[in-house]
Amino acid sequence: MSSVKIVFLGAGSVRYTLQLFLDICKTKELWESYVCLMDIDSEKLAAVHNLAERAMNEIGADLRIESTTSLEKALEGADFIVNTVLAKGEGEEDGYTQYEIMRQVGEKHGYYRGIDSQEFNMVSDYYTITNFNQLNTSLEIAKAVERICPNAYLMQTANPVMEITQIVLRSTKTKIIGFCHGFAHVKDVFEALGLEFEKVDWQVAGINHGIWLNRFRYNGEDAYKLFDKWIEEKSSQWEPKSPWDVQLSPAAIDMYKFYGMLPIGDTVRNGSWKYHYNLETKKKWYGKFGGIDNEVERPKFYEELRALRKKLLALAQDKTVKLSQVFPEEFRLDKLSGEQQIPFINALVNNKPARLFLNILNNGIIPELPNDVVVEVPCIIDASGIHPEKIDPPLTSRIIKYFLMPRIMRMEMAVEAFLTGDKKVLEEFLIRDPRTKSYEQVKAVLDEIMNLPFNKKMKEHYKWE
């Protein structure tokens, strides 16, 4: 067993922290490690500390747990930092509510689903140009890591993963890695085709929320032929089980036929405006729910998150209840959550090799993309470090030119605007939006967003008058 210090920032989110904490409890090689829970909300922090100790005791794990509201104290001696912070500006509203307020302002000015919903970036909590509070807090955290524990890995988990990881790498020497779980939806494809997971030779690559199944072989044969047969014979029978179930949707199939490879996970939600003009259009391409990124299902999801958090906080008050009885599936000792953070730690610390899909600097991994851009690619992790796989076969020309390059350009604009404080970049970002009808519309929507009470720091940053 190896002892390391693992820090959870934004631990008061409760749900995600407990999910990853349970992964540590189930990983015996990490027992005797020191887990530090950090959040600025002392009430929620106390609750998650309570739940974590009970979960540890029910599983029988051996960990040291501490909690603090001090970022500096949390980072002292840290080896791994999991950043799940959802920052917010001034005011009583939570971060998701502030997101929704900005979305409503955008829609008022003619931008359906808000100004941050752009081609190839339709995921509802992936704000890039109005998200100053999140970007700024994330950079401040990274600078603190660089100062206090420079050898630690900062594991960026909160969105927008691509932009935050990019900003930190360009502004600090912090060892930041971006984490996302969207790649796991390849299993939906394998299950639909009746393939044994262990026999599939597969690879996905691209950028965060823009990854593609570039290699797909089964028993040594091209498995895309099996997928083509499924499309012909069974795709018409597909129905989504939930708003999140879009991997085999008409949108995914349509993107596959155009780009030559199947989009995976959140990539399916991130197609062009063809799939997103309005709710009716979304239902055509994503099934009866219209996916999760619409005006009906996304608010429902936020309410479900709040209800779950409320349930967990109530459980923290009732110590007579066994958590394993309330959440039996989560307490199965033979099954981790599917998130990558704890296998990443175990691979580096205890030389338990793992194949993970990480957001790291390109540096030639995808030769057609700039070296200084963060890409999401398969890597083998072991005690000697992070070893990116060769991307074979390469992504198609259409994926590179028509999907990834336009999305990277949007990232570069968002990053430059944030780092320079040049409001003209924000304006240019919107001028190129197909929903924009005039320059006056651009100035009006940005002006109203800047003047929201919780965006005071953003207004000052951009010297908005």
State yes or no: is 266 an active-site residue.
yes
Which residues are annotated binding-site positions for substrate?
Answer: 159
Q: Are 449 and 455 in contact (CB under 8 A)?
A: yes
Select from 47, 23, 51, 21 the least CA-distant residue to 36: 21
Q: Are 52 and 21 in contact (CB under 8 A)?
A: yes
Which amino acid, residue 33? S
Contacts of 351 (CB under 8 A, 6+ apart): 382, 383
Cis ω for the linkage preceding 393 (within 30 of 0): yes
Rounded Cα distance between 261 and 203, Å, is 11
Which residues are annotated binding-site positions?
Answer: 159, 180, 209
Which amino acid, residue 63? L
Which residues are annotated binding-site positions for Mn(2+)?
Answer: 180, 209
State yes or no: is 228 an active-site residue.
no
E strand spans, 265-373: 354-361
Contacts of 325 (CB under 8 A, 6+ apart): none
DSSP 396: P
The catalytic position among 41, 181, 254, 447 is: 181
The catalytic position among 23, 79, 245, 266 is: 266
Rounded Cα distance between 83 and 304, Å, is 22
Helix, strand, coil percentages in the chain from 3-state DSSP, rounded to 5:
50, 15, 35
Alpha-carbon dihedral angle through residues 83, 88, 91, 97, given to the nearest 10 degrees = -110
DSSP labels for 41-107?
-HHHHHHHHHHHHHHHHHHT---EEEEES-HHHHHTT-SEEEE------SSSS-HHHHHHHHHHHHH
Contacts of 13 (CB under 8 A, 6+ apart): 39, 84, 86, 309
Rounded Cα distance between 316 and 403, Å, is 45
Q: Point out the residues that are catalytic.
A: 181, 266
